[in-house]
Structure formats: C-alpha cells, structure tokens
C-alpha cells in the first residue's frame, strides 16, 4: 500500500529521528540489575549445565578414615559451640536479673532478608507433569517441577522474598495455564499471568 | 565496541547470543544490551519525554527480557520481542507519570550537535516539538512514533501494541492532526 507523504510530518519525523545518548554507565547498571536473585528453590532440579560454576554442586570423595576424622572434628565443633552458647545465655540471664529495666529484646533476624515459604497448588487429574514458571525462576520450565501429592493435586513449595510475583503452570510440558484461584495480569507476551503477593511474616 | 568472551556486536546473531545466555553465560547478555540500547533509546526518550525516565523503562525492559528469555520462542527474532516489552514498559511508565508536567528540555539541549547552523532557533523548534509530542495522548504518541519515527509497518505495529490495524491508522491520523495544530504557530514564524 502506498501512502502519500506529508512534508510537515516528514519534517517532524526527521527531527525526532536524531539519535539520543544514554548515561555512559547504563549498560553496566543493567548488567548489575540482572544479578538480583529473588528465589531460593527448596528442591532445585535445574540442570547443572545451565548454572554459573559457583552454583553447581560439588562432588567430594573421602576415604573411610578421612570421613571418620571429619565426623569426629564436626562433633567436637558442635559440642564446643553448644558449650559456648550456654555460657552466653547464662551471662545474659545474669545481666537481665541485675538491670532488667534498660534491656530490650534481642532481635533474632539481624539484617538477613526475610524469606517466606509459599506453596503453589494446581488441581487437575490425568496429567503427566506440571512445571511452575515465573519471575522467581526466570520462567525456566525445567527448574521447578510440581509433585502430584494425591490424585489430581499438584504442589510445590518455594522459599521467596516478600514481593509480587507473576507465574504460570505448564501442563505436560506444553500447555501454559494460569492459576484459576489467583488474580491475573496481562503480560508482555500476550498470554495472561497469575499474580501472587508473598507477604512478610508477622513477628510473633 | 562491546565484547564479551569473543562475542562481538557486529558478528553474532541474536539467536547465538540468547543461546549462550540460556546456557549460563550471563555476561553475553551485555551484547544484547549494547545492541538494543543503541537501537531503541530514541523511542524510549521520545515516548517518555526525559532521558531519566527512558533509562529507567529501558533497564526494566532489559531485566524483564533477561528473566523471561526462556519464553522467547523465536530468539532469532529477539528484536521485535524485546521491543514489545519495551513498548509495554514505556506505556506503563507513561500511565504512572500521568499528566505531570515534563521538564525534558535540558536533556534534549544536551543532545544538540555543536555544529548546527542556528543552534538557538533549532533548540527552540525542538523544544516546541517535544512539548507538542508530550501533549498527545499516550496511544497517539506511541502510534505516531512507531509509524513515522521507527518506520514500522502497521502489521508490525499491531503485533507490538496488540491493537488492530484500523485503530492504529486512526491514532496515527489523529496524532498528525494534533501535532499540526500544536505546532502551527511555531511553523508560521
């Protein structure tokens, strides 16, 4: 189809076509942003070949006598640590008894990011497999397989940081479906995604 | 030139780079970033009206694309797949921004070439043009930029926006009419 040219619009377009520049460190910032893990799978099944070397499992070969020596050393460390902790507790109790008014409860989380276990469930009989894909596993259909815990009931649990995650189920390795029990959102790729909000644990 | 482990921007196909990233070489993604940052920065800036907003939207698009790379069924057609993500990010950012007044003039002035014949006049015209562009509805601005600046066909535009061809033609037509009205006074000077 031919379209008539409009000199005025052509002039505008030519002006808008001039190149723009981004900050010189833009590429570096993007690459840094990629390295922000959001999930720690409870039972990772991802193939080792697709992971960075630092995340691949190690295989150690230990002789029987070496194993015995290692076990003895570990037992020693555990016993020593238990004795040390016991001593610290006694000191804290003693301190509280002496000056309880000025004390505050000891925080037990520190600066570690809080992680929450979330169980995903899908109900359908007659399936061979279901995998869970989402922003938490880079939409990798091989990394998070669900288990049929009873006929037609498929589950998998993930340890996630609190946040909002989009996800889908893949039935029998082919069909992408959303979670009928959760809200949906339109995705960048045409098909809708389910959305789950993982809330932080409420302190007891 | 951006290079990573023997990959070069000029020589490697998108499909080859995507395959390396999916195989665990995340550093190869730097080639993708360099390639499409250069190609689509203009669209993001024109769509959002400021370099900062454009960088934010584009970074978001790159991160989303990286985390969804396994869903890219045709890695040899990474460009339109990524452009679709970017267009969505720009649309979302534009909606979030609402009708807040944009102050992008300084950004644009910083991009002017020092060798232009009448820099002051040129800068004034660009300022008016950018202002007029930002006064268009988001849908019209998007359609106009895709058609007349990125020079896409209506079929490709329909894939990227998820909007029908006839509706896109109407948006482009209205965008042109609106720009003509907004820029009439400037053009008459």
Domains of chain B: 1-98 (1.10.1740.10), 108-189 (1.10.10.10)
Percent of chain A with pLDDT over 70: 64
Q: In the numeric block, which tokens belong to residue B123?
A: 């800068």
**Contact indicator for B135, B100 with CB cutoff of 8 Å:** no
The mean of the pLDDT values for chain B is 80
Please determine, for the modelled complex, whether the ipTM score is greater than 0.85: no
pLDDT at A42: 43
**Contact indicator for A57, A48 with CB cutoff of 8 Å:** yes
HSE toward the beta carbon, residue A113, CA cutoff 13 A: 13
* Contact across the interface for A34 and B70, Cβ inside 8 Å: no
Count chain A–chain B contacts defined by CB atoms under 8 A. Answer: 108
* Contact across the interface for B176 and A9, Cβ inside 8 Å: yes
Q: In the numeric block, which tokens belong to residue A189?
A: 């790729």
- pLDDT tens string A27-54: 888 888 887 655 444 433 443 344 445 5
Which residue from A minimizes the CA distance to B19?
A50
* Contact across the interface for B68 and A15, Cβ inside 8 Å: no
Question: Residue B137 is inside which H or E element, if any?
Answer: none
* Of B43, B150, B140, B148, residue with least CA distance to A7: B148
pTM, to two decimals: 0.53
Q: Which pLDDT band, with edges at 50, 70 and 90, does B55 fall under?
A: very high
* Contact across the interface for A139 and B68, Cβ inside 8 Å: yes
Q: In the numeric block, which tokens belong to residue A46?
A: 């991802």
| Rounded CA separation B112/B107 (Å) | 9
| Rounded CA separation A127/A174 (Å) | 11
C-alpha A90 chain-centroid distance: 38
Q: Which pLDDT band, with edges at 50, 70 and 90, does A190 fall under?
A: low
Checking if the pLDDT of A151 tops 70, the result is: yes
Least confident of A92-106, A164-178, B20-34, B164-178: A92-106
Give the alpha-carbon dihedral of A90, A91, A97, A100, to 10 degrees: -130
Helices (H) and strands (E) in chain A, counts: 3, 9
Cβ-nearest to B84 among A51, A139, A188 = A188
Helices (H) and strands (E) in chain B, counts: 9, 2
| Rounded CA separation B81/B86 (Å) | 9
- A120 - beta bridge partners? A156
**Contact indicator for A167, A158 with CB cutoff of 8 Å:** no
pLDDT top residue among B115 and B156: B156
pLDDT at A38: 53
| A27 interfacial to chain B (CB closer than 8 Å) | yes
pLDDT at A40: 45
* Contact across the interface for A51 and B69, Cβ inside 8 Å: no
Cβ-nearest to A13 among B30, B71, B149 = B149
Which residue from A minimizes the CA distance to B47?
A16
pLDDT at A132: 94
| Rounded CA separation A145/B177 (Å) | 54
- pLDDT tens string A105-132: 333 444 556 788 888 888 888 899 999 9
Q: How far is B27 from chain A (nearest CA, A)?
A: 8
Which residue from B minimizes the CA distance to A20?
B42
For residues A191-202, average pLDDT = 81
Buried b / exposed e along A113-136 (16+ C-beta atoms within 10 A) = eebeebebebeeeeeeebbbbbbb
* Of B45, B187, B159, B155, residue with least CA distance to B110: B45
Cβ-nearest to A27 among B22, B37, B71 = B37
| Residues of chain A contacting B30 with CB distance shorter than 8 Å | 27, 31
**How far, in Å, are B101, B127, B184 from residue B134 at the CA level?**
9, 11, 16
Q: How far is B9 from chain A (nearest CA, A)?
A: 14
């Amino acid at each position: 189809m031919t379209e008539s040219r409009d000199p005025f619009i052509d002039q505008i377009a030519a002006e808008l076509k001039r190149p723009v520049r981004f900050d010189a460190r833009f590429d570096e910032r993007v690459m840094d942003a990629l390295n922000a893990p959001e999930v720690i799978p409870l039972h990772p099944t991802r193939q080792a070949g697709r992971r960075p070397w630092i995340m691949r499992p190690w295989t150690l070969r230990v002789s029987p006598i070496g194993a015995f020596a290692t076990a003895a050393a570990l037992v020693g460390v555990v016993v020593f640590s238990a004795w040390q902790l016991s001593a610290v507790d006694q000191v804290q109790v003693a301190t509280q008894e002496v000056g309880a008014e000025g004390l505050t409860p000891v925080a037990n989380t520190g600066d570690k990011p809080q992680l929450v276990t979330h169980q995903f469930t899908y109900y359908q009989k007659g399936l061979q497999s279901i995998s869970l894909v989402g922003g938490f596993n880079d939409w990798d259909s091989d990394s998070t397989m669900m288990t049929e815990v009873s006929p037609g009931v498929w589950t998998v649990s993930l340890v996630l940081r609190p946040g909002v995650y989009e996800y889908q189920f893949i039935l029998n390795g082919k069909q992408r479906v959303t979670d009928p029990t959760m809200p949906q959102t339109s995705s960048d790729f045409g098909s809708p995604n389910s959305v789950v909000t993982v809330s932080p644990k409420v302190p007891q | 030139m951006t290079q990573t482990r023997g990959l070069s921007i000029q020589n490697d196909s998108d499909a080859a780079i995507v395959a390396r990233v999916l195989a665990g070489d995340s550093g190869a993604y730097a080639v993708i970033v360099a390639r499409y940052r250069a190609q689509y920065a203009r669209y993001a800036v024109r769509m959002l009206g400021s370099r900062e907003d454009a960088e934010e939207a584009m970074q978001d698009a790159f991160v989303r694309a990286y985390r969804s790379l396994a869903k890219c069924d045709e890695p040899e057609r990474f460009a339109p797949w990524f452009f679709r993500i970017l267009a969505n990010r720009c649309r979302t950012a534009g909606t979030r921004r609402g009708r807040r007044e944009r102050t992008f003039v300084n950004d644009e002035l910083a991009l002017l070439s020092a060798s232009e014949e009448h820099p002051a006049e040129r800068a004034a015209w660009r300022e008016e043009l950018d202002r007029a562009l930002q006064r268009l509805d988001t849908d019209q601005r998007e359609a106009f930029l895709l058609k007349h600046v990125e020079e896409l066909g209506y079929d490709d535009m329909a894939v990227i926006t998820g909007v029908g061809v006839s509706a896109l033609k109407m948006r482009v037509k209205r965008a042109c009419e609106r720009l003509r009205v907004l820029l009439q006074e400037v053009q008459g000077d």
